[in-house]
């Protein structure tokens, strides 16, 4: 069991990445194989085109399997999307008379009962995180576990995370169509936190913000416990689309401009620096001011960070984040994103890189020690911890929705509808392009920013 191999599958909006890993001798995760391909069929973290997504999964998994020289048949999968919800819950049970002290099976029974609470139609629990245990109406400190305490009534407050059943089904169908089984499904910010945070961060209080392509994931920790989770439908792709529309250029050009020349702060770039973009076919090259580019990026990045700040405030722990905010994900590589985050949240911020938990003997170590791979590496770490808990005889305090076999009781009609989804084309919204052309785009920026703040932009 100590040498068990775990596979993490990050099904993102812009990329699908597969990581094959095991526990290294130094206790860190050793990545044996890694595969990445463009994500097709995923929008805002949700699988839409099942067949296209399955093809992308197959490419990434085959690449990782070949590099690691292993056969892959089951994976730990990350889940995100606007359909993710988090809610508090409370549970209570009576301890059997033959139990002199509270036993592990009593704690498990209390947690298991949370999976049976009534939910709105179409929702399913994917995680239940205990917040605080209460014995005979006396709250226990976090240093005292309930097992071994004398009492006749056990209560607990929980942080419960739910997902849309249909979206869970879409993930399942895509993975199975790629010839794989799902070992477990994990909320992406929970996985990312495994890769970029340590125990001292969680104890002190920290907000982990994973800025991906389609979603921005937020997870707040305090006293070693996850307190709040949220998935926002705005991220890196929204910034790219803004650049494309604001400057009237191709999406690939917009992405390249964002990565190479973009800045989240307008005041951090020169007034007169100009970028030349090759024209299409016989068209002349186009020129865009770096300051114009920064203005477009700043408008959307500011909007994202304001929503992040709102979620942190909503958690109730905004004044208790001694370890500050940790930014990770592909969007964390944007220039001056850390400074913008500190400006809006007034909280110390750093960039989270998964190298602290990554074995230096991992394949392509230098490439993998990048914020964009936090979720994938975190999925491997999560899987390793669950395997080790099972091996040690320690029971899990929360489990994946797939462990509950939520699909067993699905009615046949709904299952058939899901299967038919792969035959339906992915809906794409057309984006209008500006007709103005010329080397200077300040008038375009002014019109575009007015649209952002006054009318909003369709995502």
Domain CATH code at residue 122: 3.30.1490.110
60 in the same domain as 91: no
413 in the same domain as 437: no
pLDDT at 44: 86
216 in the same domain as 261: yes
Going by C-beta distance under 8 Å and a sequence separation of 6 or more, which residues neighbour residue 182?
74, 75, 76, 77, 171, 172, 175, 176, 402
Contact 126, 59 (CB under 8 A): no
**Tokens 């057309």 sit on residue:** 430
pLDDT at 391: 63
Domain extent for 138: 85-162
Q: What is the rounded CA–CA span in Å between residue 212 and residue 79?
A: 12
- How would you classify the pairing of strands 74-79 and 6-11? parallel
Last residue of a domain, one of 116, 136, 162: 162
Torsions phi, psi for 305 (to 5 deg): -65, -30
pLDDT at 238: 95
pLDDT at 428: 32
CA distances from 153 to 95, 131, 161, 221 (A): 6, 17, 25, 28
- Exposure b/e, 437-454, CB count within 10 A at least 16 = b: eeeebeebbeebbeebee
pLDDT at 389: 82
335 in the same domain as 239: yes
**At 241, which CATH number?**
3.30.420.40
277 in the same domain as 237: yes
Contact 12, 79 (CB under 8 A): no
Domain tally, the chain: 3
Q: What is the mean pLDDT of each run of 10 residues along the chain (459 residues)?
A: 85 95 93 96 92 97 97 95 91 94 95 91 93 95 92 96 94 96 95 95 97 95 95 94 92 93 94 86 84 96 97 95 97 96 97 93 92 96 90 50 46 47 40 38 48 46
Q: What is the rounded CA–CA span in Å between residue 79 and residue 387?
A: 20
pLDDT at 459: 40
321 in the same domain as 360: no
272 in the same domain as 175: no
Strand partners, 19: 8, 34
276 in the same domain as 217: yes
pTM flag (> 0.85) = no
Which pair of structure tokens corresponds to residue 346? 């007034």
51 in the same domain as 192: yes
116 in the same domain as 33: no
| Helix H or strand E segment including 451 | helix 442-454
Q: What is the rounded CA–CA span in Å between residue 455 and residue 449?
A: 10
Contact 372, 300 (CB under 8 A): no
């Amino acid at each position: 069991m100590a040498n068990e191999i775990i596979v993490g599958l990050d099904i993102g909006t812009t990329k699908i990445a597969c990581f094959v890993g095991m526990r290294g001798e130094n206790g860190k995760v050793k990545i044996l194989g890694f595969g990445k391909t463009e994500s097709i069929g995923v929008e805002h973290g949700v699988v839409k085109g099942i067949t296209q997504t399955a093809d992308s999964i197959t490419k990434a998994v085959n690449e990782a399997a070949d590099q690691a020289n292993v056969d892959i048949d089951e994976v730990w999968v990350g889940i995100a999307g606007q359909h993710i919800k988090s809610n508090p819950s409370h549970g209570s049970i009576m301890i059997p008379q033959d139990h002199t002290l509270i036993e592990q099976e009593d704690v498990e029974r209390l947690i298991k009962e949370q999976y049976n609470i009534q939910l709105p139609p179409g929702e399913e629990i994917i995680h239940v995180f205990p917040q605080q245990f209460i014995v005979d109406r006396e709250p226990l400190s976090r240093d005292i576990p309930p097992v071994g305490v004398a009492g006749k009534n056990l209560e607990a407050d929980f942080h419960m995370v739910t997902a849309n059943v249909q979206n869970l089904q879409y993930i399942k169908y895509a993975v199975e169509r790629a010839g794989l089984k799902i070992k477990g499904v994990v909320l992406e910010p929970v996985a990312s936190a495994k890769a970029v945070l340590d125990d001292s961060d969680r104890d002190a209080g920290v907000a982990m913000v994973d800025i991906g392509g389609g979603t921005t994931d937020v997870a707040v920790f305090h006293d070693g416990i996850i307190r709040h989770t949220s998935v926002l439908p705005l991220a890196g792709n929204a910034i790219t689309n803004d650049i494309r529309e604001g400057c009237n250029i191709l999406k690939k050009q917009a992405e390249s401009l964002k990565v190479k020349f973009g800045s989240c702060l307008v005041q951090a770039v020169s007034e007169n620096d100009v970028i030349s973009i090759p024209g299409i076919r016989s068209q002349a090259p186009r020129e865009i001011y770096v300051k114009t580019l920064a203005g477009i990026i700043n408008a959307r990045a500011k909007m994202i960070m304001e929503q992040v700040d709102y979620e942190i405030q909503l958690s109730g722990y905004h004044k208790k984040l001694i370890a500050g905010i940790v930014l990770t994900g592909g969007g964390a590589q944007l220039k001056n994103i850390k400074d913008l985050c500190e400006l809006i949240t007034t909280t110390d911020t750093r960039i989270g890189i998964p190298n602290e938990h990554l074995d230096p003997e991992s394949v392509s170590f230098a490439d993998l020690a990048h914020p964009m791979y936090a979720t994938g590496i975190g999925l491997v770490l999560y899987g390793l911890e669950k395997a080790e808990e099972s091996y040690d005889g320690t029971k899990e305090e929360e489990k994946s929705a797939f462990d509950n076999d939520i699909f067993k009781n699905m009615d046949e009609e709904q299952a058939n509808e899901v299967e038919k989804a792969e035959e339906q084309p992915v809906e794409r919204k057309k984006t209008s392009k500006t007709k103005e052309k010329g080397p200077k785009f300040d008038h375009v920026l002014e019109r575009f920013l007015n649209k952002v703040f006054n009318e909003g932009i369709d995502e």
